[in-house]
Amino acid sequence: MNTFDPRHVRKTILDMAYSGSTVHIGCAFSIVELLVTLYRSHLKFDPLHPNAPDRDYMVLSKGHGVMAQYACLHELGVLSDDDLNHYFKNGTRLKGLADAHVPGVEVTAGSLGHGLSVGVGLALAAKLNKTGQGCYVLVGDGEINEGAIWEAMLFATQFKLDNLVVIVDKNGFQAMGTTDEVMALGNIAQKFEAFGFETITLDGHDEGAIDMAYSALKSSRNGQPKAIVANTVKGKGISFMEHDNIWHYTRLSDTTYGAALRELGYAS
């Protein structure tokens, strides 16, 4: 069923996490609207031919949020119910981190900081080949502690990759605490601008604002790489998960799974 309703996508994430008895729920929930809006309205991507040579690229550098991408690929019909039912189980192709062997997943990620470097390479190749392809790279705010992120940004500016859009999931947390506690990031938008990026800051759960930003940046071919700094809520959509970093590594029980489903409006 292709609804691209964020509520339904969150239910799919819950179902996968519960079935697979796995973690990373909060960090998947924070990127739902960013991915839903992209797949629904902006990404050139044919579900029947996910490896088509003229596709746009969606690089999930924040590979531990992959349940959100799997849920979107399921909405498109790329992944089946059976795929999702076997998430994180023996023999599955759907692992707990992004894996390029899965159709529609461009990069194997999870060791953070590397996806953007791959993305700038894809964007550069598209520019050199004059294919018109765009490349979207979603990174976590904690992930940009990694030095490779800043090297990739310098590269993107040097080679005028205005077909590159970096999406920062700014939920304020990383695995072991808040970003301010681990390594304070300051004003992320100003840092991107200082590196030469055309940058938009927005509410990462406002689908209208996200849609407008994608449209504006996609049409802007001014030689500047693009960035969206999305203010998000880790665990968005479930009251007892929001802003609680325990849901980076906590598994669902029968009780919490049922409670989360009820909050989304589904009978448990």
C-alpha to C-alpha distance for 213 and 222, rounded to whole angstroms: 15
State the pLDDT at residue 18. 97
In a domain, residue 1? The reply is: no
Q: Which two three-digit tokens encode residue 190?
A: 């100003």
Domain count, the chain: 1
Q: For the residues 35-60, what does the mean pLDDT come to?
A: 98
Q: What is the pLDDT of residues 6-33, one digit of tens each?
A: 999 999 999 999 999 999 999 999 999 9
- If you average pLDDT over every residue of the chain, what do you get? 97
Residue 78: which domain range? 6-263
E strand or H helix at 71: helix 66-76
CATH number of domain containing 168: 3.40.50.970
In a domain, residue 268? The reply is: no
In a domain, residue 151? The reply is: yes
Instruction: Write the CB contacts of 232 (distance below 8 Å, at least 6 apart in sequence).
Output: 30, 31, 34, 169, 170, 171, 204, 205
Bridging pattern class, strands 173-174 and 177-178: antiparallel
**Chain centre to alpha carbon of residue 176:** 20
